[in-house]
Chain A
Amino acid sequence: MARLLRRPFFWIIAAAILAFALAPHGKDVELREGLLLAAVYIILASNLNIMLGYAGYVNFGSIVFFGLGGYFCIWFMGALHWGLVPAALAGGVAVSVAALFFGLGILRLRGIHFALATIGVNEAVQAFVTNFEPWGGSTGIYLSTELFQPLGGPAQALWTIYYVLVAIMGLSLYLSYFVKNSKFGMGLLAIGQNEDAAAVLGVPAPRYKALAYSASAFLPAIAGGLYFFKGAFIQPADAFDLQLSTEAIVITMLGGSGTIFGPALGAYVYEELRGWLLTSQTFANFQLVVAGVLLLLIVQFAPGGLMGLFYRRLPRLKRILE
C-alpha cells in the first residue's frame, strides 16, 4: 500500500476524482450535469479500453453492459424493493456473469467477425428486453420518485449519485492501471499484438479474453444502474443506444487506446468538442459526422491517439504514467 502511494498514477487519478467532486461546489447543477456525462464517458471508454486497447478486440456493443446493468438495477429496486446500493451492485455482478457466458461463445471469433457479433449481442438483448413484459417491454420501467427519499429527497439524491459515479470513474481508471500492470494484463497485451504467438507462449487466450470481457462489463453495469436510477426511468431505446457505444470507441481511440489515461483525456476532449459542435450553427446536426471523420483521421494518422503523440515526444513520461 505504501508503495502505491509513491506511484504518480495514484495521485493523478485521485486528483481527477477530487477535481470532479469539488468543481460544482455542491450547488452548480449545470456544471454537475456536464461533468456527470463526462464521468459516464470515461467509465465507458476506460472499461472498453481493456478489450479494445489491451486485448485488441473491438467491442462495438459495449453499451449493452451499461443498459443491462441499468435494467437489472431498476428492476431490483422497482419490483423487488431493494435499496440502490445492493441493486446496482447485484446488477454489476449479473451483467459480469452474463458477459463471461457470452464471452466464452463470441470470443471464438476474431477481428471483424467479433466486432459484428458484439453489435449482434447488443441488438439481441435489446430485442429481448423490448419483448420482455416483466421489464415493461418497449415502454420500459418507471420508478416512483419516492425511492429518492432514502437518499434525502430528489435534489440531494442527484448529488449523491453524481459523487458515486465520480468514484466509479476513479475505480475504472485504477482498474485500468492494475490490469495493465499485472500478469493478466501482460497476457492481454500479448493477445492484442499477436494472439497465435501468445498462445504458443502459454497465454491461455480463451480464458483471458472471456475474463477481460467480463471484467470490462462490471463497472459500466453499475454505472448504468445509477444513471438510469437518476432519471427514474429506463426504456430499451435509451439503454441500448449504439451511438453511445460508438462514441466510446471514438473517445478511446482519440485519447489513445491501450494507454491508461487516454480514455479519460479522450472523453474530456470529445466532450468539449461535442459541446462546441452542438452549439455551433453549422455543425449542430452533424455532430456524429464529425466524430466519424475524427475516427478516420486518428486511425489513419495517429493510431496511438493523443497519449501516443505525447509518449512519442516524451518516452520518459510513458514510463512514469503507464
Chain B
Amino acid sequence: MSALLEVQGIGKRFGGLQAVDALSFSVSEGEILGMIGPNGAGKSTVFNLINGVFRPERGKVVFRGEDVTAAPPYRVARRGLARTHQIVQPFANMSVFENCIVGACFGRDNLPLSRAREAAREAASLVGLGERLDAPAVQLTIAGKKRLELARALAAQPTLLMLDEVLAGLNPTEVAGMIEILRAIRGRGVAILMIEHLMQAIMSLSDRIVVLNSGRKLTEGAPAAVARDPAVIEAYLGDPGLVQRNAR
C-alpha cells in the first residue's frame, strides 16, 4: 500500500509547552487510522499541523506525494484533504444545503456551483440530513451539527478525511448511526484519520491505531495489540501498579 499521507518528525511548541514532538506516522490509501491519547496529548494540534492551520516548526507533511508543510489550509483542502472540527464550526446563518455547497465548491474537484449542488445534496443525504436541507445550520442539534461537519467535509470528495471526535456528545443510538455512516464512507475508498475517545467505536473501526501522549507517539499497531500495551494503559490510567495487578 502506498502512503497517502506521510507525517515526518513534525514538532510544534506553544510557549513553554511542546505540544507535538518529533511525531511520524503515515496513512495508506483506503485505510482507517485511529488516533487516541489522553486529553492534552496533542491530537487536535496534529490535525491542525497536517492541514495547515498551524505550521510545524520541524518536520514535513507530505500528502499525495506533495510537500504541504507550509501550504495554507485552503490549498491542502483543494488537494483532497477534508476535516471536521472537534468544536463544530457551522456557517450558522446559512442553510444545511449551503454549508454543503461550500464544501463541494471548494473541495478536491473544484466544482462549479451547479454541479456542487448535486454533490452537496448527495453528501447531506449520506449523513442523514437529506430532509433538512433548507434548515439554517444554527437550528440543528449538536448531533445534527456533527453530521453537518461530516457532510460538508464529504461534499468536498476528499481522498483523506480527518475526523476530530465526531462521536463525542452523541447518544448511543446516534453513535451507532454514525459508525454505519463512517463504514459507508470507507466503503467508497476514502481514507480516514480519526481522533476518538470512544474506545469501543475506534477499536472496531480502525485498521491501525496511533497512541499519542504528551505530544509524542507512545505506540502504534493493530487495535487489539495497542489495547493490551502496558504503556498505553499507564498513559490512560496513570497507575503502573494496576498493570502488574492485572498481569498477575
- Which A residues lie at the B interface, using CB under 8 A? 181-183, 186-187, 189-190, 193-194, 196-206
B64 close to chain A: CB less than 8 A: no
Q: Which of B89, B106, B152, B153 contacts A187 (CB 8 A)?
A: B106
Chain B residues within an 8 Å CB radius of A200: 51, 53, 73-74, 77, 83, 85, 89
The verdict on A201 contacting B94 (CB below 8 Å), with A183-B105, A187-B105 known, is no
Chain A residues within an 8 Å CB radius of B53: 196, 200
B98→A202 contact, CB < 8 A: no
The verdict on A199 contacting B72 (CB below 8 Å), with A183-B113, A186-B101, A187-B106 known, is yes
Q: How far is the CA of A189 from the CA of B116 in the complex (A)?
A: 16
Chain B nearest Cβ from A238, distance in angstroms: 38
Task: Kindly state the interface size class of chain B when it binds its partner.
Answer: 20 to 34
The verdict on A183 contacting B112 (CB below 8 Å), with A203-B102, A203-B106 known, is yes
Q: Which of B98, B113, B156 contacts A189 (CB 8 A)?
A: B98
Q: How far is the CA of A182 from the CA of B94 in the complex (A)?
A: 15
The 10 closest A-B pairs by CB, nearest first: A202-B106, A202-B77, A193-B91, A197-B89, A199-B73, A190-B102, A183-B113, A204-B74, A199-B74, A200-B73
For residues 25 through 80 of chain B, which have their beta carbon under 8 Å from a beta carbon of chain A? 51, 53, 72-75, 77-78
B219 close to chain A: CB less than 8 A: no
B74→A186 contact, CB < 8 A: no
A193→B74 contact, CB < 8 A: no
The verdict on A193 contacting B106 (CB below 8 Å), with A183-B116, A200-B73, A202-B74 known, is no
Chain B nearest Cβ from A212, distance in angstroms: 15
> Which of A183, A190, A193, A201 is most buried by chain B, counting CB atoms within 10 A of its CB?
A201
Chain A nearest Cβ from B100, distance in angstroms: 10
Q: How far is the CA of A181 from the CA of B85 in the complex (A)?
A: 27
**A190: nearest residue on chain B (CB-CB)?**
B102
**When each residue 95-108 of chain B gets 1 if its CB lies under 8 Å from chain A and 0 otherwise, what string results?**
00010011101110
Q: How far is the CA of A193 from the CA of B213 in the complex (A)?
A: 35
Q: Which of A186, A204, A206 contacts B98 (CB 8 A)?
A: A186
Q: How far is the CA of A198 from the CA of B98 in the complex (A)?
A: 12
A202→B91 contact, CB < 8 A: no
**B152: nearest residue on chain A (CB-CB)?**
A201
B92 close to chain A: CB less than 8 A: yes
Q: How far is the CA of A198 from the CA of B101 in the complex (A)?
A: 12
Chain A residues within an 8 Å CB radius of B107: 201-202
B89→A189 contact, CB < 8 A: no
**A203: nearest residue on chain B (CB-CB)?**
B106
Q: Is the interface of A mostly helix, strand, loop or mixed?
A: helix
Chain B nearest Cβ from A215, distance in angstroms: 18
A198→B72 contact, CB < 8 A: no
B89→A196 contact, CB < 8 A: yes
Chain A residues within an 8 Å CB radius of B90: 194, 197
Q: How far is the CA of A201 from the CA of B92 in the complex (A)?
A: 15
Q: How far is the CA of A25 from the CA of B165 in the complex (A)?
A: 66
A194→B89 contact, CB < 8 A: yes
A186→B93 contact, CB < 8 A: no
B82 close to chain A: CB less than 8 A: yes
Chain B nearest Cβ from A55, distance in angstroms: 13
B94→A190 contact, CB < 8 A: yes
Q: How far is the CA of A206 from the CA of B72 in the complex (A)?
A: 10
B112→A201 contact, CB < 8 A: no
Chain A residues within an 8 Å CB radius of B85: 197, 200
Chain B residues within an 8 Å CB radius of A197: 85, 89-91
B77→A201 contact, CB < 8 A: yes
Further contacts, 19 of them, CB under 8 A, given A197-B90, A201-B106: A183-B113, A186-B98, A187-B106, A189-B98, A194-B90, A194-B91, A196-B53, A197-B89, A199-B74, A200-B89, A201-B102, A201-B103, A201-B152, A202-B78, A202-B103, A202-B105, A203-B106, A204-B106, A205-B74
A186→B77 contact, CB < 8 A: no
> Which of A194, A196, A202 is most buried by chain B, counting CB atoms within 10 A of its CB?
A202
Q: How far is the CA of A201 from the CA of B89 in the complex (A)?
A: 11
Chain A residues within an 8 Å CB radius of B106: 187, 201-204
Cross-chain pairs A/B with CB under 8 angstroms, 7 sampled: A186-B105, A187-B105, A189-B91, A193-B92, A199-B72, A200-B73, A201-B107
Q: How far is the CA of A194 from the CA of B152 in the complex (A)?
A: 14
**A258: nearest residue on chain B (CB-CB)?**
B93
**B92: nearest residue on chain A (CB-CB)?**
A193
Chain B residues within an 8 Å CB radius of A196: 53, 89
Q: How far is the CA of A202 from the CA of B82 in the complex (A)?
A: 9
> Which of A189, A194, A199, A205 is most buried by chain B, counting CB atoms within 10 A of its CB?
A199
For residues 93 through 138 of chain B, which have their beta carbon under 8 Å from a beta carbon of chain A? 93-94, 98, 101-103, 105-107, 112-113, 116
B113→A198 contact, CB < 8 A: no
Chain B nearest Cβ from A312, distance in angstroms: 11
Q: How far is the CA of A194 from the CA of B73 in the complex (A)?
A: 14
> Which of A194, A197, A200 is most buried by chain B, counting CB atoms within 10 A of its CB?
A200
A186→B89 contact, CB < 8 A: no
